[in-house]
Structure 1
Amino acid sequence: MSAGAKATQRKGDTRPFAGFEWMLAGRYLRSRRRETFISVIAGFSFLGIMLGVATLIIVMAVMNGFRAELLTKILGINGHLLVQPIGSELDDYDAVAARLENLDGVKFAMPFIEGQVLVSGPAGSLGALVRGVRETDLRKLPLVSGNVRTGTFDNFDSSNGIAIGTRLARQLGVSVGDLVRVISPNGNVTALGVTPRVKAYPVTAVFEIGMSEYDGTMAFMPLNEAQLYFNQEGIVTGIEVFTDDPDSVGTLRPKVEEGAGRPTFVTDWRQRNVTFFSALEVERNVMFIILTLIVLVAALNIISGMTMLVKDKGRDIAILRTMGATRGAIMRVFVITGASIGIVGTLAGFVLGFVVCLNIESIRQAISWMTRTELFSPELYFLSRLPADMDSGETMSVVVMAMVLSLLATLYPAWRAARLDPVEALRYE
């Protein structure tokens, strides 16, 4: 081989990220008996990155699932816009609802009447919110009409019955066909004052929405019967407006106010639930910051492990420098070594988080069965199952953040290795 060819080969072998740099980095990642402690630190760094990334992905997915599930449940029962009368009773609700349904972006408008009552059954008495609606409107709510456990909504308007949630039925000790007593404080006016109104209704349907607050307190009654019961003949409490896009209520609200054709007070779902969703958003952001610290601590473990590795490999670094290895090559070797721990740990954490999110409810049930405890009480968390919704952009940002932190953690130890003086390193050898 000619001298020119040898020079060309030597130059190609020392290019950035050449094969020998990857070979050395891989060798430093493998454990020998003398380097067991360093390998243990590297192993803990790997586990820290993996668990930190997985925990961050799982928690953010669960928080997203909470918000999505609660939003679905709340907007599946309540309208995106609520239209209430100002100055006079809403007795022309059919005409107003028809005008609102003709607006672009409006799915349908549902007149309703509601009131707080006490419902009583064989097992006890509980407070409930009774909402009077028409059968045609009730069937437009798939969250209710599509989740009937027993009974039916057929001929609901003429049944003079009541539909209740599963938790409410269980607590009252009733099922389809049983009578429940409905007691309202706003009853008949007599010479002795106002007496509570008490009336028994048969249970025609039992539904399960999946949100404990609704399943335990919500009841539906035919609109005409509700008007008679609450002494509101011919009028309604308000009109729920359901839109094609819940996020467009801001632009649609002026059109609804104008399309109603009478003085009204219009509120949207964001105003009615602002405290709840704001608290959920704050909790989500705080959890992200706290859990990011886990990844940061794991990245700091990489710094300590790499620093010890550089100290242990001082003689090797000096020999490589005397053989012609550049400072850049030494730095790249240790960057590859440390970054490999972070990148592989991040990818392993992503896989672990993805698998856990896919099976989060099964894992919850298994842990509850093993510990004999209820880890996710519907009374406290509103939902009957543990949701998880992985957002692709959010998950990618977590992965990129962990990789960047891992890479940054390797720069200082690698720079220290590149700055090592071969004469000082070999002086006492």
Structure 2
Amino acid sequence: MSVSPPIAAKGPGPFSRFEFVVAGRYLRARRKEKFASVIAVLTLLGVVLGVATLIVVMSVMNGFRTELLGKILGLNGHFVVQTTADGFDGYDDVVTRLEGVEGVRYAIPYVEGQALASGNASATGVVVRGISEASLAKLELLRQGAVLGGWDQWDGSLGVAIGQRLSERLGVSLGDQITIINPNGTPTPFGMTPAELSLPVNVIFNIGMPEYDSFYVYLPMQEAQAYFRLFEDKLKPGVQMPGVMATDEEIDAAYERAYKVSGVEVFVTDPDNIAGMRSKLEAALDGEFAITDWQQRNATFFSALQVERVVMFVILSLIILVAAFNIIASLVMLVKDKGPDIAVLRTMGATRGSILRIFSMTGFAIGLSGTLLGLILGVVFAINVEAIRATVSNVLNISIFPPELFLMAGLPSRVDPGEVTVVVLLSLGLTFLATLYPAWRAARLDSIEGLNQ
């Protein structure tokens, strides 16, 4: 009776214990095989760096998108309701109708215009926005961003709120006066007289986005309406129009002033459900207003950001692809070196399938180890990327990712489990495919040819 060779001892799954042992021996290089060992180590490092780099870059880009989207939509509504005319009145009714729509968190009327702001040091163009105290209470990002002063009694404050970067540029601090000049002021027989307004700085805020901290000036709502002349004197209901000989008191008693707003911003619970919410808002407004959403207003910016994410993913995936080619090269060298061993194994009864699995496990072990190490390194680095950036900047005394260019006070990062899973599966798939050709070549090696090497 013949005795089964030791190579038939079974291990877990479809692999035998013998195959695991041989594959493990091939991964541990002996003294005369140091060169092959160096190649294997470099291949392992290639997989580690490829996986880690891809996870870190995708996490940082996710952080940028999330941070930008959160701050942009934290100050600007998901929808903006406007008219084609220069503002509209009756906005309280519009706000009530909008806030009655299911899925709407709140609606905020606002006044907005451009002007020239001057301080003690310089002058610069700014965006002047009027907002009420009731609306301000809903904007947590702006309300909590005050670093000097406060928003208490904002409606009657007769002051302005400016960003910290703008205050540094103008050379003003809390309590200093700034002058706002609007070229579209009061019409006169000699032309348009610019509107000029000097007010003290009551609030200095820092939102963390240079775009807002450098260019926005906030005014109380009624002050902004008067400054941009967003009002209309209408005859009171049931009152006869005053005659030509009417006194000023009679004219004032006959008319009432209707203030206007530039638009109403709508904040919804699900910013991604643009199509569904748009139809609800249009139905509530009966088509009287033009509605634009945040995707339309920021289409170019976020489309470019999405394209950049895809391109970076493809480019960085090439690092893993190069590492996979290194696995092919190292396994081909291993097969060439182990030709006599393969011949001996074949004469002892090892099947071609066993040889195929041995070399597949040898290469895949490198890919699996590199992927797991890259996963750990990438996730740890991505979670602590801002601390690492700050440390490197302090040690080297240079500015890495300056906020003036990247619109961020820090380097954000958000690890997406779904994207991390895709990176891991991509790495495992490429490294596994890289083992097939060398393993197939080893399985096809003829015993006589192997012994003659």
TM bucket normalised to smaller: over 0.9
SS at match of 1:186: strand
2:217 aligned with 1:219:
yes
- The equivalent position to 1:313 in structure 2, one of 338, 341, 348, is 338
2:217 aligned with 1:192:
no
- The equivalent position to 2:314 in structure 1, one of 248, 264, 289, is 289
2:264 aligned with 1:239:
yes
2:70 aligned with 1:72:
yes
**1:110·1:239 contact (CA, 8 Å) conserved in 2?**
yes
- How many angstroms does 1:331 deviate by? 1.2
2:414 aligned with 1:358:
no
- How many angstroms does 1:306 deviate by? 0.5
Name the amino acid aligned to 2:162. I
1:98-137 deviation line (CA, Å, top 9, x unaligned): 1111111111111111111111111211111111010110
Name the amino acid aligned to 1:415. W
**1:86·1:263 contact (CA, 8 Å) conserved in 2?**
no
Q: Separation in 2 of the partners of 1:256 and 1:86? A: 17
- The equivalent position to 1:412 in structure 2, one of 429, 437, 447, is 437
Q: Separation in 2 of the partners of 1:72 and 1:13? A: 56
Provide the residue aligned with 1:114 in structure 2.
Answer: 112
- How many angstroms does 1:236 deviate by? 0.8
TM-aligned CA distance change 1:88 to 1:275, over 3 Å = closer
Provide the residue aligned with 2:163 in structure 1.
Answer: 165
Provide the residue aligned with 2:55 in structure 1.
Answer: 57
Provide the residue aligned with 2:415 in structure 1.
Answer: 390
- How many angstroms does 1:370 deviate by? 2.9
Q: Separation in 2 of the partners of 1:289 and 1:21? A: 36
User: Where in structure 1 are there 5+ consecutive unaligned residues?
Assistant: none
- How many angstroms does 1:7 deviate by? 4.5
> TM-score w.r.t. structure 1 length?
0.95
2:117 aligned with 1:129:
no
**1:73·1:143 contact (CA, 8 Å) conserved in 2?**
yes
Provide the residue aligned with 1:47 in structure 2.
Answer: 45
1:197-255 deviation line (CA, Å, top 9, x unaligned): 22111111111111111111112110000011111131111111111111122111122
Q: Separation in 1 of the partners of 2:94 and 2:179? A: 33
Note the aligned Cα RMSD (angstroms).
1.7
Q: Separation in 2 of the partners of 1:344 and 1:414? A: 19
Q: Separation in 1 of the partners of 2:78 and 2:95? A: 14
Provide the residue aligned with 1:82 in structure 2.
Answer: 80
SS at match of 1:26: helix
TM-aligned CA distance change 1:322 to 1:41, over 3 Å = same
- How many angstroms does 1:359 deviate by? 0.8
**2:159·2:219 contact (CA, 8 Å) conserved in 1?**
yes
Moved more, 28-37 or 47-56: 28-37
TM-aligned CA distance change 1:8 to 1:220, over 3 Å = same
2:183 aligned with 1:207:
no
**1:61·1:391 contact (CA, 8 Å) conserved in 2?**
yes
2:268 aligned with 1:270:
no
Name the amino acid aligned to 2:48. M
Name the amino acid aligned to 2:405. L
2:223 aligned with 1:229:
no
In proportion to residue count, which structure has more helix? 1
**1:96·1:261 contact (CA, 8 Å) conserved in 2?**
no
Once the two structures are superposed, the pairs formed by residues 313-352 of structure 1 within 5 Å of their partners are 313-352=338-377
Moved more, 321-330 or 51-60: 321-330
Q: Separation in 2 of the partners of 1:312 and 1:240? A: 71
Q: Separation in 1 of the partners of 2:342 and 2:283? A: 79
Name the amino acid aligned to 2:417. S
Aligned identity (percent) is: 52
Q: Separation in 2 of the partners of 1:212 and 1:10? A: 68
1:155-180 deviation line (CA, Å, top 9, x unaligned): 00000111111111121222221111
Name the amino acid aligned to 1:50. V
User: Where in structure 2 are there 5+ consecutive unaligned residues?
Assistant: 232-258
SS at match of 1:156: coil
Name the amino acid aligned to 1:366. T
- How many angstroms does 1:59 deviate by? 0.8
